[in-house]
Every structure is written in structure tokens, then in C-alpha cells.
Structure 1
Amino acid sequence: MPTPGFPPGTLDSEGDPIWLTELASDDPNHTLHVVQGLEPAEALEALGAKPRLFRPCVLPEVKPDEWTSLPRAALALDSGDSAALLAGRIGAWTFVYDDAGHTLPHDDTILLSADGRTAASSLYTINADASLSYAVNGEQLAHLNVDDLDLDEELPGLPAELRAAFEAAGVFEIEDEDLEPGEADYAICMRVVCALAGLTGTLDDLRRIPLTVTPFG
């Protein structure tokens, strides 16, 4: 399983970053945004969240049930309520995790990348739609969908930073998946975004940094 950017124990059995799996509900419909040059509160506000609702977050130790993400549990939101957004910063990159996919990944990537910044977003839905957007200085430079992603054709034309993230993400081969050797798996977009932003640790690593959580939508 050639995923060189991820140390042992940081991916689950399907190739998803383990910190996302442990953060999300059991059947996620979620989005991950990353951006350079914005603090977590600034990124949340840029996505349209209301600052008066921001609060520091200590993630619960366990999820209350299979339908509830840890950020949602921290806010005591019911499953039918608004999304929960969780934000934090590791190194130069800020991440925003949207547990219900209420943000607009492709439009928001462009928005987050304004004023010379770099941003990327990955979406994964309950219907197994998986995609990635990458933007620099307010311009979308890549939008990729796993269903029609040919790595041999696409990678040479990608911006160098994004291409390096794909190489770090690698391809996760799952025995029970109907995938050809070297074909992109459905977790690759989340791995690429995490590799780009250095989010290649565990949930315990995430618990060690300041986190902000807010309802959204």
C-alpha cells in the first residue's frame, strides 16, 4: 500500500486519514478545507460562520452514536440540526472540517485562497462522490473527481505542490474494491488534502492543539 506521506497507523482500513475517520460519523457526508495564511477564526468567518457562535473545543472522548461526529457532540447538536465546523492550525496551514458538507467546497476553495493564499478542499458524500479543488490567489487551478481521475494523465499537468501531495498520498489498494492496480481509490482526495497541509497524524495529535467549533447553516 504505497502511501509514502502517511506514517504507519495514520490511515484506516479503507485508506482514509485515521483522524478524520475517528472525528466523523460512521457514514460521513463531509468536507475538509485547508488554507495557508489564515487563522482558524478567520477561515471560519470567510466560510460564512458567525463569530458570536465560535467557542473553544475540547473534543469528547467518544461519539455518542454512529450518526454523530465528535464536533457535533461537542456542540450537543442533534443529527438533523446545522453542520458542525471544527477549525485548528498545524504549522502554516489551517484546516476547517465540515461534518455535514454544508459548505461549498469548490466555491469556498477559491474564496479561501484570495489575497495570494493557497487553499484546497475535499468532499466525500454518502453516495461515494469524492472530489478535490485547489486554488491559489483566488483562481481555481485544479478540480478533480475520483470517478474520472486518471492519475497517469492528470498528475504531470498539476501544479508542483499539488502533484507532490498526490505522490505523498499514493494509492491505497483495497482487496475487495473493483479497482485496477494503480487506480485512484475513493479516499485519495482526502489523503491529498491532508498531505498538502501536513495533517498526517492521529486524533491524539489534533487534541493537543487549540480547536474552535461552531454550528453552521
Structure 2
Amino acid sequence: MDTDLAAGDPNHILHVVRGIEPAEALGAKPGLIQSCDLPDSKPDEWTSLLCAALGIEPGTYAALLAERIGEWTFIYDDSGFTYDGAATEALSVDGRTAATSVHTINGDASLTYAVDGEQVQRVNVDDLFLGEDLPGMPAELRAAFEAAGTVEMEGFEPGEADSLIAMRAACALASLVLTLSDIRRLPLLIVPIG
């Protein structure tokens, strides 16, 4: 998933869930959900592409963007509005698998993984030690973190989990290897929230 969707210094969330349609996953009244063509650019660094698409000022409202790729639906929250401890579990009911990756302006990062309405694993990136923690994860989640890999960043030792690993792991879990150009070609759904 391309980070160019976000505003500068974002509080944003990516939910991925297997086996549900985007409109249902959004959980909004049908009249609020609309199709979306993302604009070519953001008007400024503080406006997400989602807010630009809706023509709303940053900080007044936020937006959710959703689409299904194969078996998985993604819901991108440009403001962190949908963060609540039970969101992942709610998405995973009825035998589904879901994950929620959170990344805040303060660099707090986590991933919650749930199956059939129950949280199976919560990963706080600050406490993640890949060599020690990956073997104890469910196989599907472990594979996602392995695929996410690590990125060389200033202030991080080689192989150390960086603050964006949870977002990459959520994308890997749902096979979302998408550029912004790829996202623009999808029949996206969007809903304003706030």
C-alpha cells in the first residue's frame, strides 16, 4: 500500500480482512458510501488524497477508502478514526481473518491479528524482536512479517524492526503490493467519517 495516500505526519490505519465485501467492511450507511477517483495530487502536505478526493479540509473530517483484491478487502483510514480495541475482532467475525495496522504521528506502531472474532496476536513494534518473536506467531502472520522484511533507516540497527514494518506486514498478509498508480486503477469506495 502506497504511503502517498496519507497526509504529512499521519495517524493512519490499514485494516485488511479476508472474505467480506468492501461496502460491508466499511460499515457505513449505504447513502454515505460513494465511488472514488483519487486526484492527481494533494493540495498541501496536510491533506490526504482521500480528503482531497472528497474536497474536505484536513482536520474537519476524515475518510475511509476500501476495495477488494482477491480474497482480501482493505480499508484505509487516513486519520486513525477507526482505532478501537475491538475493530479487528469485529471485522473477523463469522470465520474471517483480519488484521489492523496502526501508525501514529508519534511513531507508535502496532498490528492486531484476529480470527473468527477473537484476537490471536497483538504486536507492538517497539517491543518486537524479530528473531525471538516471529517463531511464536501463527504461521500466516509470521510469513507476513518475514515478507515485510526490514528497511535500513537512520537510528535502526540492521535487521531491527522499523516503525513501518506492521503496515508492510498487513499488506503482505493480504498480498497488497500496490503502488499509487495501481490503487488509482481500482474501483474504490470512499466514505467521509467524523
- TM-score, with normalisation over the residues of structure 1? 0.87
Which residue of the partner structure matches residue 54 of structure 1?
33
Which residue of the partner structure matches residue 11 of structure 1?
none
Which residue of the partner structure matches residue 139 of structure 2?
160
Residue pairs, 1:112-191, within 5 angstroms: 112-174=91-153, 177-191=154-168
Q: Counterpart of 2:7 in 1: which secondary structure? A: coil
Structure 1: unaligned runs, 5 residues or longer: 1-16
Which residue of the partner structure matches residue 201 of structure 1?
178
Structure 2: unaligned runs, 5 residues or longer: none
The two structures, once aligned, show a CA RMSD in angstroms of: 1.1
CA deviation digits over 1:121-174, x for unaligned, max 9? 100111110010000001111101111111111110111000000110011111
1:65 CA displacement: 0.7
CA deviation digits over 1:18-52, x for unaligned, max 9? x1x2111121110000001111100001xxx3322
1:81 CA displacement: 1.4
Q: Counterpart of 2:86 in 1: which secondary structure? A: helix
Please, which moves more after superposition, 83-92 or 99-108? Answer: 99-108
Matching residue within 74, 98, 119 for 1:95: 74
Paired-residue identity, %: 63
CA distance in 2, matches of 1:50, 1:189: 30
CA distance in 2, matches of 1:33, 1:191: 12
CA deviation digits over 1:163-214, x for unaligned, max 9? 000110011111xx22222110111000000011111121111111110011
